[in-house]
Structure 1
Amino acid sequence: MKWLLSIFESDGGAHLSLPPIASNDPILAWVWSSISAVQMGQVKDRDGAANQLASLALDNDRNKKMIVEEGGIFPLLKLLKEGASAEARIAAATALFNSANGKQRVRLIVEALETSMIVGVLGDSPIKVQISVANLVARMADLDDYAQEEFMRLNVTRPLMSLLSNHLDLEEVSDKPVKTSIPSIVEMNQRLAYKNINANYNTDSSSHGGSHNKGREMETPEVQLKLKVSYAEALWKLSKGSLCNSRKITEMKGLLCLATIIEREKGELQFNCLMTILEITAVAESNADFRDAAFKPNLPGGKAVLDQLLRVIQEESDPKLHIPAIRSIGCLARTFSTRETRIMGPLVSHLGNKNVDIATEAAMALGKFACPENFNCSEHSKAIIEFNGVPHLMKLLRSGDQAQLQGVVLLCYLALNAGTSKALVQARALNALEGTARSVLAHHPEMKGLVAKAIHLLIRYQAGATLSRQSLAS
Structure 2
Amino acid sequence: MDPLIFQFNQLDHHHQQPPIDQILSLPIVLSDRILHAVDDTKSYKLECADVGKHVDRLSQKLRSAVRFANSTPSFYERPFRRIFTDVAKTLNRALILVRKCRRRSIFRRFVTIVGVADFRKLFSQLDASIGDVTWLLSVFDVDGESGGIADGGGIVLSLPPIASNDPILSWIWSYIASLHLCALNVKIEAAHELSSLSRDNDRNKKMIIEEGGVSPLLKLLKEKSSPEAQIAASMALFNLANDQNNTQVIVNEHGIPIIVQVFRNPQILVQIEVAKLIARMAEHDSVSQEGFARENVIGTLVSLLSFDMLIDDDLGKTNKFLKKGIRSIVEINTQVERSSITCCDYSNKRGKKEPQDLIIEFKTNCSGALWMLARGSIANSRKITESKGLLYLAKLIENGNGELQVNCLMTIVEITAAAEYNPDLRRSAFKTNSPSAKAIVDQLLRLITESDNPVIKIPAIKAIGHLARTFPSRQTRVIGPLVKQLSHKNLTVGTESVIALCKFTCEENFLHAEHSKTIVEFKGLPPLMNLLRGSERIQYHALVLVCYLAMHDGINEPFEQRRILTALEGAENSVACRYSELRELVAHAIHHLKILS
**TM-score, normalised relative to structure 2:** 0.72
Deviation digits for residues 392-443 of structure 1 (CA, Å, limit 9, x no counterpart)? 1011111112211110111111111126522773671122223334443354
Question: What is the Cα deviation at residue 344 of structure 1?
Answer: 0.8
AA of the residue aligned to 2:385: T
Of the three residues 135, 153, 161, the one matched with 2:276 is 135
SS of residue in 2 equivalent to 1:341: coil
The aligned counterpart of 2:583 is 448
> Which residue of structure 2 lines up, in the alignment, with residue 155 of structure 1?
296
Aligned partner of residue 369 in structure 1, secondary structure: helix
Q: Residues 13-24 of structure 1 correspond to what in structure 2 (within 5 A)?
A: 13-24=154-165
Given the alignment of the two structures, is residue 280 of structure 1 paired with residue 421 of structure 2, yes or no? Answer: no
Moved more, 249-258 or 360-369: 249-258
- The residue that corresponds to 1:195 in the other structure is 327
Deviations 1:283-328 (A, max 9, x none): 0000111101100110111111111111111112211111111111
1:321 aligns to 2:462 (yes or no): no
1:110 counterpart residue number: 251
- 1:126 paired with 2:258, answer no
* Native 8 Å contact 1:131 1:226 kept in 2: yes
The answer to whether the 8 Å contact 1:285/1:331 transfers is yes
Q: Which residue identity is paired with 1:260?
A: K
Q: In structure 2, how many angstroms separate the alpha carbons of the residues matched to 1:418 and 1:184? A: 39
Task: Please point out which of 289, 310, 318 is paired with 1:185.
Answer: 318
Q: Which runs of 5+ in 1 are unaligned?
A: 172-181, 465-474
Is the CA contact 1:170–1:193 (under 8 Å) kept in the aligned structure 2? Answer: no
Q: 1:68 to 1:419 in 2, by over 3 A?
A: same
Is the 2:485–2:494 Cα contact (8 Å) retained in structure 1?
yes
Within 1, Cα distance between the matches of 2:257 and 2:558? 60
Matched, 1:237 2:372: yes
Does the 8 Å contact 1:124/1:208 carry over to 2?
A: no
* Cα gap change, 1:297 to 1:240, in 2 (>3 Å): same
Which residue identity is paired with 2:356?
P
**Aligned mate of 1:412, from 547, 555, 571:** 547
Out of 394, 403, 424, the residue aligned to residue 259 of structure 1 is 394
Tell me, in whole angstroms, the C-alpha distance in 2 between the residues paired with 1:192 and 1:308.
Answer: 19
2:220·2:233 contact (CA, 8 Å) conserved in 1? yes
Cα separation, partners in 2 of 1:312 and 1:105, compared to 1, 3 Å: same
- The equivalent residue for 1:166 is 307
Residue 404 of structure 2 corresponds to residue 269 of structure 1 = yes
Determine whether 1:354 maps to 2:495: no
Secondary structure of 2:552's match? helix
Q: CA RMSD in A?
A: 2.4
> Which residue of structure 2 aligns with residue 179 of structure 1?
none
**Which residue in the other structure is 1:458 paired with?**
593
Are the structure 2 counterparts of residues 337 and 206 from structure 1 closer, same or farther at C-alpha, using a change threshold of 3 Å? Answer: closer
Report the more deviating stretch, 212-221 or 3-12: 212-221
1:289 aligns with 2:424: yes
Deviates more, 1:431-440 or 1:262-271: 431-440
TM-score by length of 1: 0.89
* In structure 1, distance between residues paired with 2:344 and 2:419: 37
Write the distance in 2 (CA, Å) between the matches of 1:212 and 1:89.
19
Q: Which residue of 2 aligns with 1:6?
A: 138
Taking the aligned partners of 1:367 and 1:420, their CA distance within structure 2 comes to 16
Aligned to 1:332: 467
Q: Which amino acid aligns with 2:274?
A: V
Indicate the SS of the match to 2:262. Answer: helix
Query: How many residues are aligned here?
Result: 451
Deviation at 1:170, TM superposition (A): 6.7
Aligned equivalent of 2:174, options 8, 14, 33: 33
Q: CA deviation at 1:138?
A: 0.7
Q: What percentage of residue pairs aligned between the two structures are identical?
A: 49
Partner secondary structure for residue 428 of structure 1: helix
Higher Cα radius of gyration: 2
Task: Provide the rounded CA distance (Å) in 2 between the counterparts of 1:442 and 1:23.
Answer: 63
Query: What CA distance in whole angstroms lies between the structure 2 residues aligned with 1:291 and 1:209?
Result: 31
- Unaligned residue ranges in structure 2 (runs of 5+): 1-132, 142-147
Superposed displacement of residue 190, structure 1: 6.1
Contact 1:262–1:270, Cα closer than 8 Å, also in 2? yes
| Greater relative CO, 1 or 2 (CA 8 Å, sep 6+) | 1
Distance change (3 Å), C-alpha of 1:247 and 1:207: closer
Q: Which amino acid aligns with 2:293?
A: M
How far apart are the structure 2 equivalents of 1:47 and 1:272? 31
Q: Distance in 1 between matches of 2:457 and 2:287?
A: 31
**What pairs up with 1:323-402 in 2 under 5 angstroms?**
323-402=458-537
- CA distance in 1 between counterparts of 2:139 and 2:396 reads 52
Compare 243-252 and 423-432 and name the one that shifted more: 423-432
Aligned to 1:304: 439
Higher mean displacement: 132-141 or 5-14 = 5-14
Deviation at residue 252 of structure 1 after TM alignment: 1.4
